[in-house]
Structure 1
Amino acid sequence: MRFCTLLITGLCVLGGFGITGFTENRLADDPKQEKWKAPAWADTLKNQYPTEPLTLAQGEELFQEFCSSCHGEAGYGDGAAGRALGAKPANFHDPEVVKQTDGALFWKLSNGRGNMPPFKEVFSDEQRWQLVAYVRKLTTPKTNTK
């Protein structure tokens, strides 16, 4: 597993991989690229794991190690490796991303497209759901507790 971590991280940093992401960003040199939509059945996929503090912490750890280089530490699509790609990685705060179902995000994370590598063979189902849960946490408006 550690070898996979190093390999994927290295490829992201070198620009070989990146995470084009979960939105309708198009390649700068290909305005005809279609929007990336998950199949309709993906909307029926449901997280079978509880969203609790440990789930979110594990999702954050995975996100920071594997996703932040392209998507940025806060998920705005502004990571250093992402800037080297032909298409901007997804901004998870974009309303087009926020309105997608958890199942659609899970499907995209699992299958990849373009610069977004498929993570089905890299992460377990539980880890991919942890990432979806963490992405949702990133985009949840902060409430003032004062």
Structure 2
Amino acid sequence: MKKLKMSMMVSCALVMLSFVLMSFVQEKKPWDVPAKYQSMTNPQAADDAEMIKIGKMNYARHCKSCHGNIGKGDGPKARSIDADLGDFTSAEFQAQKDGVIYYQSFIGRDDMPNFEKKIVDEEDRWAIVTYLRTLKK
């Protein structure tokens, strides 16, 4: 009888633990990026120092609080967001097309807000994309 009771307690604990762990694991839901954005290319040169500087400044103003200093998704607001904030330094992120990064960054979805009205200048938007390309491991 004691073994049965102990076994049931262990089973219950394992079930509870699995629910807790599942609540912390976020399934990465793929982005549905329209074809228009998938075919967009950054009009700025990847090594344009002025655009990188502008992009870094705008990143600090609009993105850093959630995505962190170097884009690892560890900014001060990150803990309050349920979504996966991604890692901009990862090969997976860097392998995305420019237009996909543009769409994700400015159109947004779910917890990622739309920035079209906050960052209205097209050059500033592309400068952020240019800066994000410098955040490699």
Corresponding residue of 2:16? none
- 2:71 is the alignment partner of 1:75: yes
Corresponding residue of 2:80? 84
Corresponding residue of 2:15? none
Distance 2:77 2:40 in 1: 30
Corresponding residue of 2:122? 125
**Which structure 1 residue ranges, 4+ long, deviate > 4 Å from structure 2?**
27-31
Aligned residue identity for 2:123: E
* TM-score, normalised with respect to structure 2: 0.72
* TM-score, normalised with respect to structure 1: 0.68
| CA displacement at 1:67 relative to structure 2 | 0.6
| CA displacement at 1:30 relative to structure 2 | 7.0
- Structure 1 residues 30, 73: closer, same or farther in 2, change over 3 A? closer
Instruction: Provide Cα deviations, 1:58-112, integer angstroms capped at 9, x if missing partner.
Output: 0000111111110010111111101111123121123321111011111122211
RMSD: 2.1
Corresponding residue of 1:16? none
Corresponding residue of 1:11? none
| CA displacement at 1:28 relative to structure 2 | 4.8
| CA displacement at 1:36 relative to structure 2 | 1.7
- Structure 1 residues 41, 28: closer, same or farther in 2, change over 3 A? farther
Alignment of 1:1-146 (within 5 A): 28=24, 31=27, 34-51=29-46, 52-123=48-119, 124-139=121-136
Distance 1:107 1:85 in 2: 20
Distance 2:83 2:114 in 1: 17
SS of 1:137's equivalent in the other structure is coil
Distance 1:36 1:28 in 2: 21
Distance 2:64 2:33 in 1: 22
**5+ unaligned residues in a row in structure 2: which ranges?**
1-22
| Alpha carbons 1:59, 1:134 under 8 Å: kept | yes
The structure with the largest helix share of the pair is 2
Distance 2:35 2:89 in 1: 22
